Amino acid sequence: MKGVWFALLLSAWSAQTFAQSGRMLGRVLDENNNPLPAVTIYVANNAFAQAAITNVRGYFTLLSLPVGRYTVKALKRGLPLWEKQVTVSPATLRLDINLRQSPVEFAAKQDKTKPLPKPKAVSKTKTEKSESPKAEDLETAQSKATEPTTPVSADKEPDAKEEAETKTVSDEDIAKDEGLAQSFQDAKAVEASDLAKVDAKPEIVGGIETINRKIIYPEAARAKNLQGGVVARVSVDLNGNPTKVVVLKSTDPMFSEEVFRVLSEDVKFKPATLNGKPVASAAVIYVEFKLD
């Protein structure tokens, strides 16, 4: 009898926990209000991390976000990091983002004789094939992510994050914006495809060594002699493009952010197949961060 009551209580708790989630959607534009595709929208706190990639019209949608306080980041190679603190409630939040060029990039475009400063070379991590992570690597989860390093300039314009505001929207509001409505439907389709049975899961083109070549060990983690791993589920569309990344487990948020960056920007996938045809599905990948 006690077992029955426990099962009922667990079921009620699980239903309540699932209900306590929110959604976040919006659009990313450049300084000229043109849509920015392939921007990684990274949402994370100490307990949860998820990322979505903007579509060709700059829209993004994140579903099933547990309620709580999050750091939201917008990442795209060649553009400055955008960051904002956002509280997710059991509702739908709209967050539109404007990414502007950094002063260094803008100056370089004005004077093409002056090349952009080259980044310092850093060592790359070793990675392993997808497998269960070692317990000792994943039990030392850190409580906070390291503050990001952003280029500083005396003539830098005000940070774009100050201009963006979140607002609660209804399903009717979403339906009125055709691009937003399409992004929302696409996100729901991705969730469904993640659970669908396939004959073959997505595979990284070039194998795990592709990640090995692209991953950059976070300098702050190196300074702390921090090692560990990240287990991530990557949603891949039928063309082999990643559409969503969810961190299932991670030693440290710094590692999670680097995995988000590489999986969304630097890796191409061979799509899943069903009955010999490419389909959307998801794959679980383990990346190990180990100092030489």
- pLDDT tens-place string over residues 45-73: 988 999 999 999 999 999 999 999 999 99
pLDDT for residue 86 is more than 50: yes
pLDDT for residue 161 is more than 60: no
**Summary mean pLDDT of the chain:** 78
DSSP one-letter code for 218: -
* Residue range of the domain that includes 238: 2-289
Confidence label for 250 from pLDDT (cuts 50, 70 and 90): very high
Please report, for the chain, how many H helices and E strands are present, in that order: 8, 16
Which among 148, 158, 193, 131 is positioned nearest to 31, based on CA atoms? 158
pLDDT for residue 102 is more than 70: no
CA distances from 68 to 145, 166, 270 (A): 16, 14, 35
- pLDDT tens-place string over residues 202-221: 999 999 889 888 999 999 99
| Domain total of the chain | 1
Identify the H or E element spanning 6.
helix 2-19
Q: How much is the pLDDT for 227?
A: 94
- Whole-model pTM over 0.85: no
Q: How much is the pLDDT for 144?
A: 39
- pLDDT tens-place string over residues 4-60: 333 333 333 334 344 589 999 999 999 899 999 999 999 999 889 999 999 999 999
What's 248's domain CATH number?
2.60.40.10
